[in-house]
Amino acid sequence: MGFSAADYLIVAVYLLGVTILGIIISGRQKTTRDYFLGGKSMPWWAVGFSIVASETSTLTFISIPGLAYKSNMHFLQVAFGYFVGRLLVAMIFIPAYYRGDLETAYDFLGRRFGEPLRKFTSGVFITTRVLASGVRLFATAIPVHLITGFDYATSILIIGVFTLVYTYLGGLKAVVAMDVVQLFIYLSGAVASVLVILHRLPGGWSDVVGFATSGNLNKFEVINPAWGSGVMEFISSPYTLVGGLLGGTFLTMASHGTDQLLVQRLLGCKSKWDSQRALMLDAAFIVLQFAFFLVLGLCLFAFYQAVPVQGLGLQSTDEIFPKFIVDYLPSGIKGLVIAGLLASAMGTLSSAISSLASSSFLDIVKKSRAGRLMDASKELRWSRIFTLFWGIVLIGGAMLFTDTHNPVVEIGLKIASFTYGGLLGTFFLGLLFRTTSQRDAFIGFIAGLLTMVAVLRWTQIDFTWHTFIGCVATIAVGLSSRAISHRKLSVQQPSVTG
Q: Would you say residue 336 lies in a domain?
A: yes
**Does some domain include residue 440?**
no
Residue 42's beta-bridge partner residues?
269
Positions in the chain short of pLDDT 70: 1-3, 27, 56-59, 140, 143, 146-149, 226-238, 369-373, 400-417, 488-498
- Whether 70 maps to a domain, the answer reads yes
Which helix (H) or strand (E) segment holds residue 490: the answer is helix 466-492
Nearest to 58 by CA among 325, 349, 332, 270: 349
Rounded CA separation 60/155 (Å): 19
State the number of CA atoms in the 13 A half-sphere of 143 facing the CB.
30
Count of the separate structural domains present in the chain: 1
Contact between 312 and 66 (Cβ < 8 Å):
no
Residue 233 domain-assigned?
Answer: yes
466 within some domain: no
76: domain CATH number is 1.20.1730.10
Specify whether the CB–CB gap between 471 and 448 falls below 8 A.
yes
Q: Which pTM does this prediction carry?
A: 0.83
Spatial separation of the C-alpha atoms in residues 450 and 477, rounded to whole Å: 11
DSSP characters for 194-244? HHHHHHHSTTTHHHHHHHHTSTT--TT--------SSHHHHHT-SSSHHHH
Q: CA-CA distance, 472 to 163, in Å (whole number)?
A: 38
Domain containing 185: what range? 5-407
Measuring CA to CA, which residue among 43, 72, 51, 73 is closest to residue 285?
Answer: 51
C-alpha distance from residue 282 to each of 84, 227, 262, 397 (Å): 12, 31, 11, 28
Q: pLDDT at position 496, please?
A: 45
Inter-residue contact 290 to 68 (CB < 8 Å):
no
- Would 494 be classed as within a structural domain? no
d(C-alpha 259, C-alpha 125), whole Å? 7
CB atoms within 10 A of CB 48: 24
Q: Please say whether the beta carbons of 98 and 302 come within 8 A.
A: no
Inside any domain, residue 308: yes
Report how far residue 14's alpha carbon sits from residue 83's, in angstroms, rounded to the nearest whole number.
Answer: 32
**pLDDT score for 216:** 81
Question: What is the DSSP code string of 121-182?
Answer: HHHHHHHHHHHHHHHHHHHHHHHHHHHH---HHHHHHHHHHHHHHHHHHHHHHHHHHHHHHH
- Helix (H, G, I), strand (E, B), or coil: what is residue 29? coil
**Given this model, what pLDDT does residue 198 score?**
94
Domain assignment present for 74: yes
Pinpoint the alpha helices (H) of 313-432.
320-328, 333-358, 369-372, 376-398, 408-432
CA dist list (Å): 73 to 214, 239, 446, 462: 16, 9, 36, 18
The sign of the dihedral angle between the CA atoms of 284, 289, 290, 296 is: positive
Positive or negative: CA dihedral 124, 141, 351, 60: negative
Q: What is the pLDDT of residue 498?
A: 40
